[in-house]
């Protein structure tokens, strides 16, 4: 029973190859589907944004054309009325004609120069002979030119826009004005122009004035509402034409296009819910998946067959290796059909593996000799090198280096920054020394540089250059870091390696006592390194 379970749950090459290949195939398929989804999604978003932008530009142009047409109609009526301004009957007929000839205005009114209503169309409006001081009328009387007012609440309580033209007689005398109203909260020309553009999938458009008040909205109850913070409205009221993704006041992600009406500064916004724009994508991805599945199944079958073909020789070799005590095992192994290079060269691969093991051991031996933080040699290496040079009676110099105020750096900035300082100094030491020099970190913030086959003066020059190089740079966030160095030479200062190291160490401490950021040689401080 245990053998059966072990066989079922055994991790062998065939299963590993199959798992890897199937995983790669599934990952590739999933990545392809995901990439396709992302590309199609972005295409749908970009197309919707561009379509809404173009639509907003078109509707802004339609709105501007309507305003131009309304001004032409009013200007014509003003010209017709100029010669008959003293006859209310004729003015009434002109007002009725203007009101009935199109659906542009909910009402038409003639005013005299004082703002008194002369006639109205329809006549049922209870405004005749009243002097109106509403914003639209007051502005028109003051400006005496073609005007479109900002929305305001009229005397009768209607939220409206007032479009007007001055009435001037042949001598240039200002007689009054003729004006048409658009009742924003009732059926009006904007509904006729824009209302048919409403979509059933949640798309809609709206128009705002420069005060962020809704002039048109598919939900007529929202007309007159003041819109708060909204990136789309901010952009369109700056006179911009464009597109963007934004969230509307109900918290729905929308794809919006916008354009401004030049004459009035109104903003036209066309937007569509993001989920509506992406609705076709789900069906598209299902079609892609359905078309991909048959090929994916054939690919899985091929992977299984090929994995079996690759793993069979190694599986047979492994089975026979477990029977090494049998005298016929060699014949069985020879009978294994090793049809590819790796299985035929398994014995040689074992030798390569052994060789690789020795290389790893050598690498481990090298790692033992290096300081893991800086990559420099450790104290053990310096001792071995000095012992060898002592036996060879080799000329060399020793430079001890200690970072000034390193404990303060650790206490102020933390040990992580301290480690970065050590690594930075290790790089500078490599740059300022020769390839034959032995560079060691002896502990903490102390470094030892062993310079073979060098004169005392040359060793001093190297130490001074290193001191200047370190003091010249800065390390974030510490700033300037300085070091103190001590130099000793064998046999100039001592003939024994141990004595040379002690002399260099004493010189380094002498440099610290003398003010730091300097080099000292065997008891004598030479000079500061600025």
Cis peptide before 511 (omega within 30 of 0): no
Q: Are 473 and 365 in contact (CB under 8 A)?
A: no
- Please name every residue paired with 256 in a beta bridge, in sequence order, or none if there are none: 244, 271
How big, in percent rounded to 5, are the helix, strand and coil portions of the chain?
A: 50, 20, 30
Query: Distance (Å, rounded) from C-alpha 425 to C-alpha 469?
Result: 10
What is the DSSP code string of 79-133? HHHHTTTT-HHHHHHHHHHHHHS-SS-SEEEEEETTSBEEEEESTTSTTTTPBP-
Closest to 399 (Cα-Cα) out of 460, 448, 462: 448
Q: Are 200 and 273 in contact (CB under 8 A)?
A: no
Closest to 227 (Cα-Cα) out of 205, 249, 242, 244: 249
Rg (CA), the chain: 46
Closest to 101 (Cα-Cα) out of 64, 73, 75, 127: 73
The reported pLDDT for the residue numbered 366 is: 66
pLDDT, mean of each 10-residue run, the chain (530 residues) = 56 70 76 83 89 89 89 91 88 91 89 93 90 92 91 88 92 92 84 64 83 86 85 88 84 88 88 85 79 82 79 70 62 72 58 43 68 87 90 93 91 90 91 91 90 93 93 88 93 90 93 92 55
What is the DSSP code string of 121-136? ESTTSTTTTPBP--HH
Query: Distance (Å, rounded) from C-alpha 454 to C-alpha 399?
Result: 12
Residue 252: helix, strand or coil by DSSP?
Answer: coil
Query: Distance (Å, rounded) from C-alpha 404 to C-alpha 509?
Result: 11
Residue 209: helix, strand or coil by DSSP?
Answer: coil
Summarised one tens digit per residue, pLDDT across range 115-138 is: 999 999 998 889 999 999 999 999
pTM here? 0.53
Closest to 256 (Cα-Cα) out of 324, 204, 310: 204
The reported pLDDT for the residue numbered 347 is: 39
Summarised one tens digit per residue, pLDDT across range 80-120 is: 888 888 899 999 999 999 999 888 899 999 999 999 999 99
Q: At 430, which helix (H) or strand (E)?
A: helix 415-432
Q: At 339, which helix (H) or strand (E)?
A: none
Residue 216: helix, strand or coil by DSSP?
Answer: strand
Query: Distance (Å, rounded) from C-alpha 155 to C-alpha 167?
Result: 23
Q: Are 107 and 180 in contact (CB under 8 A)?
A: yes
Closest to 48 (Cα-Cα) out of 300, 321, 244: 244
* H helical segments located in 197-278: 231-237, 274-277
At residue 197, φ and ψ (nearest 5 deg) are -85, 0
The reported pLDDT for the residue numbered 530 is: 43
Q: Are 83 and 169 in contact (CB under 8 A)?
A: yes
């Amino acid at each position: 029973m245990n053998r059966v379970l072990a066989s079922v749950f055994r991790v062998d090459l065939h299963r590993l190859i199959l798992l890897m290949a199937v995983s790669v195939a599934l990952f590739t398929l999933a990545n392809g589907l995901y990439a396709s989804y992302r590309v199609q999604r972005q295409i749908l978003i970009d197309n919707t944004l561009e379509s809404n932008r173009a639509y907003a530009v078109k509707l802004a142009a339609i709105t501007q054309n309507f305003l131009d047409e309304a001004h032409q109609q009013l200007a014509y009526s003003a010209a017709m009325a100029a010669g008959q301004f003293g006859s209310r009957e004729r003015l009434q007929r002109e007002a009725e004609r203007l009101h009935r000839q199109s659906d542009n205005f909910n009402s038409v009114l003639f005013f005299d120069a004082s703002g008194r209503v002369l006639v109205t169309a329809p006549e049922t409006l209870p405004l005749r002979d009243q002097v109106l001081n509403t914003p639209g009328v007051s502005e028109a009387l003051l400006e005496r030119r073609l005007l479109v007012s900002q929305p305001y609440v009229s005397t009768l309580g209607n939220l409206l826009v007032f479009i007007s033209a001055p009435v001037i007689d042949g001598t240039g005398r200002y007689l009054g004005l003729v004006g048409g109203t658009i009742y924003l909260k009732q059926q009006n020309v904007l509904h006729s122009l824009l209302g048919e553009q409403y979509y059933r999938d949640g798309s809609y458009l709206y128009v705002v004035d420069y005060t962020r008040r809704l002039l048109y909205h598919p939900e007529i109850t929202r007309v007159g509402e003041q819109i708060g913070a909204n990136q789309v409205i901010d952009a369109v009221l700056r006179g911009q034409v464009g597109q963007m993704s934004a969230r509307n006041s109900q918290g729905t992600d929308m794809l919006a296009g916008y354009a401004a009406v030049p004459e009035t500064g109104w903003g036209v916004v066309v937007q569509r819910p993001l989920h509506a724009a992406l609705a076709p994508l789900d069906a598209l991805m299902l079609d892609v998946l359905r078309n991909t599945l048959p090929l994916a199944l054939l690919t899985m079958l091929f992977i299984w067959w090929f994995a079996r073909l690759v793993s069979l020789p190694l599986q047979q070799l492994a089975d026979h290796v477990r029977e090494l005590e049998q005298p016929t095992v060699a014949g069985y192994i020879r009978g294994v059909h090793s049809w590819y290079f790796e299985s035929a060269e398994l014995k040689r691969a074992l030798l390569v593996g052994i060789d690789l093991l020795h290389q790893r051991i050598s690498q481990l031996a090298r790692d033992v000799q290096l300081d893991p933080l800086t990559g420099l040699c450790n104290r053990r290496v310096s001792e071995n090198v000095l012992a060898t040079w002592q036996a060879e009676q080799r000329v060399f110099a020793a430079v001890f280096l200690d970072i000034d105020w390193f404990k303060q750096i650790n206490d102020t900035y933390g040990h992580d920054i301290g480690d970065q300082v050590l690594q930075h100094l290790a790089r500078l030491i490599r740059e300022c020394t020769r390839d034959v020099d032995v560079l060691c970190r002896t502990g903490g913030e102390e470094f030892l540089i062993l310079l073979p086959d060098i004169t005392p003066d040359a060793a001093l020059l190297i130490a001074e250059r290193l001191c200047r190089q370190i003091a010249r740079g800065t390390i974030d966030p510490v700033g300037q870091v300085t070091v103190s160095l001590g130099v000793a030479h064998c046999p100039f200062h001592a003939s024994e390696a141990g004595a040379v190291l002690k002399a260099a160490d004493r010189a380094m401490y002498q440099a610290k006592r003398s003010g730091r950021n300097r080099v000292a040689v065997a008891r004598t401080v030479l000079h500061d390194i600025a």
